[in-house]
Amino acid sequence: GAVFHNLGIPTHYFTAMFAMARVYGYIAHYLEFSKDSCLIRPRALYRAA
């Protein structure tokens, strides 16, 4: 909210701006995945405590 406020964006647009940023991030992840078409797998083994 502070960045949007300093940019002069009205407060009633904050939710829409946040949602658009999330959608662009999801699209970027999808495009990156579709280019390589491989899942990212962690190399460490999970050991429950």
pLDDT digits (tens, 9 = 90+) for 15-28: 998 999 999 999 98
Which tokens go with 28?
Answer: 């970027």
Q: Which pLDDT belongs to residue 4?
A: 84
What is the widest separation between alpha-carbon atoms in the chain? 49
pLDDT digits (tens, 9 = 90+) for 28-45: 888 887 776 666 666 777
CA dist 3 and 29 (Å) reads: 24
Percent of the chain with pLDDT over 90: 27
Overall pTM > 0.85: no
